[in-house]
Structure 1
Amino acid sequence: MKIRVERDVLADAVQWVARSLPNRPSVPILAGLRIAASGNQVLLSSFDYETSAKVAVTADVHDEGVALVSGRLLADIARSLPAKPVDLVADNSKMEITCGSARFTLQLLPVGEYPDLPEMPVSTGTITPETFAQAVSQVVVAAGRDELLPVFTGVRLEIEGDTLSLLATDRYRMALKELPWSPTSRNTEAAALVPAKVLAESSKSMTAGEKISLSLSAGDGGDGLIGFEGEGTNGVRQITTRLLDGEFPKVRHLMNVQPSVTVRANTGEIVAAVKRVALVAERNTSLRMVIADDHITLEAATGDQAQAVEAVEATVVDETGNGLSMTAAGFNPHYLLDALNALDTPYVNFAFTAPGKPCLLTPLVEIDGEPLPDYKHVIMLMRLPQ
């Protein structure tokens, strides 16, 4: 194999593919990054039996061939090369990388032992990259991070015709985003539980083109596969991953909050106030929101050592007509900030039912407008000390 490729193109492609390499591969061969040159393209790929990543870039291919090298080492080298064309020449045992006056020699891994990458399933539909990336970012914040509870580390994708829904929960918070997309069939109905990390990486790294293609292949016994294809900075990128097995909890009903009190305020003002007040919040203790007629007050403390209080102007509505039935709520400050930062509107609507019950956050374009129905974020309130 003998190829020449631009340094920035190579570095970008290798860095992206190397992100999918396992930190602790079950077998050493999975630490390899596969390079296949043919025609006027080079295909770089990685696979760990769960997730595969492929990117095709344009190159001057003098001799076609396939080589397998240490992925992380190649990524470090590519990132450090000077801004000049890069020549890669591989024989049966080694690869030489030349860029300007810099030269590296890498031992090749046995490419014949490398597993075959899964085929991309047939496309289920397409969506614009910016819309998809924003939707995923709004939902993955609520996904769990405990690998011992894998079902909570996923995002549930639900497809009903031209509506795509994303739902995530870690048991203490939930996020739901519904958005339009272009299915290949108007009658398509499907559901899949996708690892949140893979979904986030896919949505963020394929924003250079006009659309992202989503391909879903449902299987029995946890053998389902989902694939994403779109354009990155320097080439077409593909990711496939096995779907998570297990029953996703039925949490949609928790989004149907019938509030006794609603609070509306400027999103940016609350974010800034929460950040300041949370500086003195003791670990695993709540940030207290005190609700008054025309404002809310945020409070936190670390015992007798430090206290913080800040008031924020708000529109408070008693939905029952019997006087404020709820005057204080306890939030995990990190969960509250994640939810507020996920909103993409100037104002936020809090819907409270009762102390210790779920609180629903929805986006508002105008302080006196209707909440947007496409995004809902629920936070389980913390119990306040008596």
Structure 2
Amino acid sequence: MKIRVSKSELIRAIGIVQKAVSSRPSIPILKGILLVAKDQTLILTANDLKIGIETSIDCDIQSPGSVVVDSKLFGDVIRHIRDEYVSIEVKDLSVSIQNRDLDISLKGYSDQEFPDLPMLASNDSIGIKEDVFLDMLNQTLFAVADTEYNQIINGVLFQLDSEILTLAASDGYRFALRKQAVENMASISKRYVVPGSTLKEIKKLLGHDAERFIRISVDEHHIVFKMDNTRIISRLLEGEYIKYEAIMPSTFFTKVSVDTEGLLDALGINSVLAEKVNSSVILSVHKDHIEIRSRSEVGKISKRVPARVEGDPLTIGFNIRYLTEGIKANNEATTRISFVKGSKSPGVITSRNQYQYLLSPVLVSEIES
């Protein structure tokens, strides 16, 4: 194998696939990146057996070939090279990197032990614009759990049905939901759960590009995300996800519309006390405003925010971080919160772009005691 490749493109590609390199691999070869040179293309692959990433870049090939190199060592070496192009030659599993006054030799490994990325049994796929998919992740991924006891809620539910893609996430205390119309998928009806860790890595690769599409394919055990020259393949989580249709309330006794900036400002000042004591705040809904307050043995804070209120007055408590994250994810100038009757029932934030965020309350007596 002998190639010449752009240093900047190689660094970018290494950065992409390194997201699938485990810091504690089950077998030593998984610490590496597989390099395959063919057809004037260099293909880089990493695979930790839970998530695999493959990307490709153009290169000049004098002789094709393949080798596995230590991910961190190879990446660090390439980043220190100052030349615009890098020449790489592999002989007897010795990786030689040469440029003018530079001569580096790294130990390579045979690709025979490197695991192949799984092939999907299904050809069903959908396409969605990058910026839309990024917004969907921003409105759900933050609510994913991180627990050893119920692995299924460590992922995001993907539901495909009647040209609608639904993403949903929950950690048991809150539930974030986003729906999006997707064209040309009328015949696809599926429900599966993607690990949150996989989606966090995909999110890092997405941009607010309204022209580029991300293509999603899935079978019984794996999901593939395709973006330009990059493929990300992940195992799906096993188990039955929460039936969100049954927990989303449809009847409300109090509805509030409030300026988002003013509400976040009130929560921000209250967080000075709330986050240091019980992490919770009280919302008292009156006929024309909301009062946000917190208290502890060292003081108390209260701030009023004008609001348009329909229905009954209400006093209810929430975890301040969970409430703030739900409001920020809504990303609208006006926040609309609907409350089921009583201080022990959840509140639901809704938006015009089919985002819903259900948040369980905390007992007001526990906050004020």
TM-score, normalisation: structure 2: 0.92
Shift of 1:166: 0.6
Contact 1:206 1:237 in 2 (8 A): no
User: Which residue does 1:369 correspond to in 2?
Assistant: none
Q: Map 1:220-259 onto structure 2 (within 5 A).
A: 224-231=221-228, 236-259=229-252
User: Which residue does 1:221 correspond to in 2?
Assistant: none
Contact 1:144 1:153 in 2 (8 A): yes
3-state SS of 1:19 partner: helix
Q: Map 1:40-119 onto structure 2 (within 5 A).
A: 40-82=40-82, 84-98=84-98, 101-119=101-119
Contact 2:5 2:87 in 1 (8 A): yes
User: Which residue does 2:348 correspond to in 1?
Assistant: 360
Is the alpha carbon distance of 1:148 and 1:27 closer, same or farther for their aligned partners in structure 2, counting shifts above 3 Å? farther
- Separation (CA, whole Å) in 2 of partners of 1:238 and 1:338: 30
Segments of structure 1 that go 5 or more residues without pairing to the other structure are 219-223, 364-371
- Separation (CA, whole Å) in 1 of partners of 2:166 and 2:249: 16
- Separation (CA, whole Å) in 2 of partners of 1:100 and 1:288: 67
User: Which residue does 1:150 correspond to in 2?
Assistant: 151
User: Which residue does 1:296 correspond to in 2?
Assistant: 290
Alignment equivalent of 2:355, drawn from 375, 378, 384: 375
Is the alpha carbon distance of 1:30 and 1:148 closer, same or farther for their aligned partners in structure 2, counting shifts above 3 Å? farther
Is the alpha carbon distance of 1:100 and 1:267 closer, same or farther for their aligned partners in structure 2, counting shifts above 3 Å? farther
Alignment equivalent of 1:262, drawn from 247, 255, 266: 255
User: Which residue does 1:215 correspond to in 2?
Assistant: 217
Shift of 1:226: 0.7
User: Which residue does 2:166 correspond to in 1?
Assistant: 165
- Separation (CA, whole Å) in 2 of partners of 1:272 and 1:306: 19
User: Which residue does 2:306 correspond to in 1?
Assistant: 313
Shift of 1:270: 1.5
User: Which residue does 1:338 correspond to in 2?
Assistant: 325
**Farther off after superposition, 28-37 or 248-257:** 248-257
- Separation (CA, whole Å) in 2 of partners of 1:230 and 1:167: 22
Contact 1:21 1:31 in 2 (8 A): yes
- Separation (CA, whole Å) in 2 of partners of 1:61 and 1:270: 59
- Separation (CA, whole Å) in 2 of partners of 1:101 and 1:256: 69
- Separation (CA, whole Å) in 2 of partners of 1:157 and 1:347: 28
Is the alpha carbon distance of 1:284 and 1:74 closer, same or farther for their aligned partners in structure 2, counting shifts above 3 Å? farther
* Identity level (%): 24
Contact 1:206 1:229 in 2 (8 A): no
- Separation (CA, whole Å) in 2 of partners of 1:382 and 1:195: 28
Letter in 2 for 1:344: N
User: Which residue does 2:176 correspond to in 1?
Assistant: 175
CA RMSD of aligned residues (A): 1.9
Contact 1:123 1:213 in 2 (8 A): no
- Separation (CA, whole Å) in 1 of partners of 2:160 and 2:116: 29
Is the alpha carbon distance of 1:109 and 1:275 closer, same or farther for their aligned partners in structure 2, counting shifts above 3 Å? farther
* Match status 1:200 vs 2:223: no
Moved over 4 A (4+): 99-103, 206-209
**Farther off after superposition, 149-158 or 285-294:** 285-294
- Separation (CA, whole Å) in 1 of partners of 2:47 and 2:59: 23
Letter in 2 for 1:168: A
Offset from partner CA, 1:346-378 (integer Å, 9 cap, x none): 111111112121110012xxxxxxxx2611000
Letter in 1 for 2:355: Y
- Separation (CA, whole Å) in 2 of partners of 1:88 and 1:296: 65
Shift of 1:114: 1.1
- Separation (CA, whole Å) in 2 of partners of 1:88 and 1:306: 65
3-state SS of 1:26 partner: coil
3-state SS of 1:73 partner: helix
Segments of structure 2 that go 5 or more residues without pairing to the other structure are none
Contact 1:8 1:83 in 2 (8 A): no
Contact 2:270 2:292 in 1 (8 A): yes
Letter in 2 for 1:145: D
